Amino acid sequence: MGFKCGIIGLPNIGKSTLFNALSNAEVPMENYPFCTIDPHIGIVEVPDRRLDILEKIYSPGKVIPTTLEFVDIAGLVKGASKGEGLGNKFLSNIQRVDAIIHLIRCFKDDNVAHIDPKLNPRRDFEIVNQEIIQRDLEVINNRIQKIKKQAKTGDEKYKRQLIVLNDIKGILEDKKSAKTYHAHPEEENFINELGLLSNKPLLILGNISEDEATSGQKSEVTKDFEQFALSTGNFFLTLSANLELEMSQLESEERKILMKEWDIREPGVTQLVNAGYVLLNLVTFFTMESEICQAWTVEKNTPAYKAAAVIHSSFEDRFIKAEVRHWKDIEKTKSEILLKENGHIRIEGKSYIIRDGDVVTFRLANG
C-alpha cells in the first residue's frame, strides 16, 4: 500500500531540490520553468526510533522501515486550469496523490528566476490555489449537469447529491477550498468519488534561505506568510531545501556535527516526513517474522484483518487471529519473555483496530 504526497508549487521555488533531499535522487535542477515535466517518484524511509528499540529486543537479521512516496510534480503557472503551460498535465498529476505539499518560496535570490522580482509568498500561494479551485469548479459543474437529469425523476438520492454539489459550487465560487464544506457522514463517499483537488489534505511548506534555517530567526516575510498559512486551517512548516540537500549528501557523523553547530535538533526532511504521516492520518505497526523486523503503514482505524492484507493480499481471507503487543508494554518491559510473563501479549480477532506502535503476529489458515 503506497501513500503518495505530491510536491507542488510555481516553477523555480525548490521542488526538485527538496525532492532530491528527500530521496537522494538525481532529478535535474535547472533555473528555468518546467525543468520537471513528468512527475518523479521517490520512496522515502520513515524515521522511527522504535525500530532501534525492537532491534535491541529481538536481534533480527534485518530491519526494514516503512516508507512514504513523494512525487515531484511540474511547476504550475497562472491559467493552468485553462491549459496554460503544463496546466492540464500538472492538475491530472495532482489527482493521483493522496496529500499535497505546497512549497512556497520565502527567500530572496537574484540568481534564481521567479515569476515576479518582488517576493510575495501569499500571492504565489493564491496563484496555485486558485488554479486548483478553478479545476474543481469545472468538475463540479460537469457533475451538476449529469445529476440534474437524474434528480428530475424525483429520486431522493440524486436530489440530495444535487444539493451537495451546489453547496460545494458556492464554496468554490467564493474562492475557498472544497474541504471547508462540512459533509455529513453519509455524504463523504460521494464527495470522495468526485476527486476534488482542493479536498485533499494539504501541508503548506515555506522554503526559506540557508541563513534563516541555521540562525533559527525567521524573516519578516516568513513570519507574515506563516500567519497567513495558519489562517487557512492547513498544516505549516518551514525548511531550507538547499540546506536539506547539502545535509543529505554528507556522511552521518559529519551531518551530526553540523547540526550540533547550527543547533538543529532534527533535519527538516524528517519533520516533513513525519508531518506527511500526520497529514495522511496514518499509523505504523510492526511485525517480527523470519528474523526480519519490519514496519508497515496503515490508515488509522484499520481492523486487524485489513492490516494483514497490507503484508500480503491473501492474508485477509486467511486471517484467524492476531497476537498483539502494545507499544507502551514493549517500551516498559523491553523483553518478549516479560511480555509473556505479564500477560501483555493479547489475542485479538479480525475486528481489532490496529494501534500505532503495535507489534503483531498474524495467525493464518493454511493457504
Q: Is there a domain that residue 56 lies in?
A: no
| 186: three-class secondary structure by DSSP | helix
- Residue environment code for 104-143, b if the CB has 16+ CB neighbours within 10 A, otherwise e: bbbbeeeeeebbeeebbbeebbebbbebbbbbbbebbeeb
What pLDDT score does 30 carry?
Answer: 39
What pLDDT score does 117 carry?
Answer: 76
Tell which residue, 285, 302, 282, has the closest CA to residue 294. 285
C-alpha pair distances (Å), 218 with each of 119, 134, 202, 223, 261: 15, 33, 22, 6, 18
Residues 108 and 222 in one domain: yes
Residues 140 and 228 in one domain: no
What pLDDT score does 367 carry?
Answer: 63
Residues 226 and 96 in one domain: yes
Q: Is there a domain that residue 124 lies in?
A: no
- Residue environment code for 290-299, b if the CB has 16+ CB neighbours within 10 A, otherwise e: eeebbbbbbe
Residues 225 and 339 in one domain: no
What nine digits make up the cell of 20?
Answer: 532530491
Q: How far apart are the first and last CA of the chain?
A: 22
Q: Is there a domain that residue 355 lies in?
A: yes
Residues 212 and 332 in one domain: no
What is the model's pTM? 0.86
Residues 146 and 217 in one domain: no
Tell which residue, 320, 324, 325, 326, has the closest CA to residue 363. 320
| CB atoms inside a 10 Å sphere around CB 329 | 19
| CB atoms inside a 10 Å sphere around CB 74 | 23
Residues 306 and 316 in one domain: yes
How far apart are alpha carbons 261 and 255 in whole angstroms?
A: 10
Q: Is the dihedral of CA 224, 228, 231, 233 positive or negative?
A: negative
Residues 259 and 270 in one domain: yes
Q: Give bridge partners of residue 70 from the DSSP assignment.
A: 5, 42
How far apart are alpha carbons 307 and 282 in whole angstroms?
A: 12
Residues 209 and 97 in one domain: yes
Q: Is there a domain that residue 61 lies in?
A: no
Task: Name the strand (E) or helix (H) holding 150.
Answer: helix 121-151
What pLDDT score does 85 carry?
Answer: 41
What pLDDT score does 281 carry?
Answer: 94
> Containing domain of residue 348, as a range?
301-364
How far apart are alpha carbons 259 and 244 in whole angstroms?
A: 11
Tell me if 198 sits within 8 A of 125, measured CB to CB. no
Residues 217 and 252 in one domain: yes
What pLDDT score does 77 carry?
Answer: 54
What is the residue-level pLDDT of the chain in tens, covering all 367 positions?
468 899 999 888 888 899 888 887 443 333 333 344 456 788 888 889 999 999 999 999 999 999 888 888 866 555 544 544 444 556 777 888 999 999 999 988 777 666 677 899 999 999 999 989 998 999 999 999 999 888 888 888 889 999 999 999 999 999 999 999 998 888 999 999 999 999 999 999 999 999 999 998 999 999 999 999 999 999 999 999 999 999 988 888 998 999 999 989 888 989 998 898 899 999 999 999 989 999 999 999 999 999 999 999 999 999 999 999 999 999 999 999 999 999 999 999 999 999 999 999 999 998 6
Count of domains in the chain? 3
